[in-house]
Structure 1
């Protein structure tokens, strides 16, 4: 018997810069803090969590194996809870939410957790290939799969964006994130992290990636690719961070006295055109609009991951999205992009902002190599 899944809470650690404030922690420590932190926020008995599905984009070295369970156990949480780790590239955390919601809808479980982690300082994104075990693609593979920087530049040229257009978006992301932090808009979603050090513990309760910048400063940066368009100022930051969300069957949440914050109205994962690779949010959004009968005008907020400036810019141009509804608190260009954790950061930001504005509907989209995860969310 199926049940109606609801999101009870979504939270994250601060996002640290590469080699920054939280880079000294092990991935299992950081993810465990997020897992336990979201439970503590709800005063929820961990024994009630039947399964936790989490993700990591580079499950190698310190992140190898079932990092979801390793973190859960390290945090002292009940060993009877089932744990699964996935890699869905940059949409990993959001896809974890989809999978937990699906299991609740099927009646497989009543209380679940989705989560994700990436310490890119300690385990850089790699091709995840081993030695002496062959290659992941057949020798006659001839499909054009550009690197992400090339794909981002292709999108920009395809949509007619100039270097100046991209730089303006990069500055806007930083400015909006600064305002959001100054006004305390991220406080609700943050789980503070205590980092031990030789001179005592340090409490990290703020994202590290924000920086003062200007159009002139960004214009002076070199492009990542020769004769390209994107720079470090218009690309997502390499970051460390973890996130977690608790989902329940609506009836179970009611029994436990917990007020649901949101529910998923529609969701999809699509493959993208490999030529442009990262432009999948455009098609994914259209699929959900067609499926629900909704229009862009029905949606109050859009969170489209800023893997590169051209990605949300392309999305907004094709769908006619009001810039004042898109990434209103900045995005990965300013806040950072720990790949396995970002999806729930987008979710938490959307829910928080809907509540702040007393609005109802948000769309979240995140490109993930040649695939995209997209969701329409309703505040409850």
Structure 2
């Protein structure tokens, strides 16, 4: 049976907005990951049928120009095409889904799915203008922090619970860095500092050591003094990129490459845009049902934690084991690279499953305006 398999997956470090990557163009950031994919697998770049990439959310230039420049910057031949996908912070996860679908259908054999975020780029006119005021009355759209606050209220989550979750995210990420869990997945990026000297970046800069509940308690809430969501229990914008090499199982065998995972399921749903994040619960249940798995069959979960309330309500509703969730920290500690989010999370999921020796992994992202993507992968040659 024709299957979509994952051969390689890499990412850059996740760097805070206005940090080390702020002087790099998005095509420069992602070209590092694209080059590394070819280097690690030694496949001829001309064999790649397409490159599908999550588009930077704040790109001020035409998306088609950016992705083409990324390829040319990565020494891909002119014959390799490319395109972009925009589905909020699930953009690069959707790129992975489109790649797998093209391969399973037989249209293509080798695709690189990728994503990049450059949060320091100027915002577009669309991002500045906010919500369309002509929407039907029932759609009282909220900015995401207000939706995160609302679901915390509906599910009865206290600020203490949200803060405790945030502390755990940092602790997990610090432990992962100390144990060098990220070393194989992160490709180094050379940057030039203001003084002119070069620096190699190969470490996520977000996680904070020894963060305490007392520190978080002192942070003012985002909305008003009576609310729970604040900068300490929310993710922060970050820059970075990731790339996944996906191909058919038959092509991998023909090229003598060993597939590491197969993509078992690709699910996307729409949900209530007023509270945004419940789609993640719906998509998880739908994905598991489609492939005949139970929540306890999954060995590792990577669930986007743009706000602490999101994974906490997901845990409540799905019954997932919290000890399997975001084992190396999440976006609260490592940063939220928007359009690179899905590819980054899948890269970390792949390497963590290999480290643990687990079989199934589930990636889930709740997206703006009430959407969600879920991907299930299975480790091969266990």
Indicate whether the TM-score tops 0.5.
Answer: yes
Secondary structure of the structure 2 residue equivalent to 1:161: coil
Deviation of the 1:228 alpha carbon: 2.0
Deviation of the 1:136 alpha carbon: 8.1
Secondary structure of the structure 2 residue equivalent to 1:341: helix
Contact 1:241 1:338 in 2 (8 A): yes
| Corresponding residue of 1:245 | 244
Deviation of the 1:60 alpha carbon: 2.9
User: Quick check: 1:379 aligned with 2:369?
Assistant: no
Q: Which stretch shifts more, 263-272 or 61-70?
A: 61-70
Among 172, 177, 190, the residue aligned to 2:173: 177
Among 216, 219, 226, the residue aligned to 2:217: 219
Contact 2:22 2:120 in 1 (8 A): yes
Stretches of structure 2 that go unaligned for 5 or more consecutive residues are none
Alignment RMSD: 1.8
* Per-residue Cα deviation, 1:81-130 (whole angstroms, up to 9, x for no partner): 11011111000111100000100011111111001111102345874468
Deviation of the 1:339 alpha carbon: 0.4
Deviation of the 1:76 alpha carbon: 2.3
| Corresponding residue of 1:322 | 321
User: Quick check: 1:200 aligned with 2:197?
Assistant: yes
Contact 1:240 1:338 in 2 (8 A): yes
Contact 2:296 2:321 in 1 (8 A): no
TM-score by length of 1: 0.94
Structure-to-structure mapping, 1:1-380, within 5 angstroms: 3-58=2-57, 60-62=59-61, 64-124=63-123, 127-128=126-127, 137=132, 139=134, 141-142=136-137, 143-197=139-193, 198-212=195-209, 213-226=211-224, 227-369=226-368, 370-380=370-380
Deviation of the 1:302 alpha carbon: 0.8
TM-score by length of 2: 0.94
* Per-residue Cα deviation, 1:333-362 (whole angstroms, up to 9, x for no partner): 001111010101111111111111111001
Task: Find the aligned partners of 2:239 and 2:72 in 1 and give their Cα distance.
Answer: 21
Task: Find the aligned partners of 2:62 and 2:330 in 1 and give their Cα distance.
Answer: 25
Contact 1:67 1:85 in 2 (8 A): no
Task: Find the aligned partners of 1:8 and 1:161 in 2 and give their Cα distance.
Answer: 40
Deviation of the 1:43 alpha carbon: 1.8
Stretches of structure 1 that go unaligned for 5 or more consecutive residues are none
Contact 1:56 1:63 in 2 (8 A): no
Deviation of the 1:167 alpha carbon: 0.1
Aligned residues: 375
Deviation of the 1:174 alpha carbon: 0.2
Q: Which stretch shifts more, 104-113 or 65-74?
A: 65-74
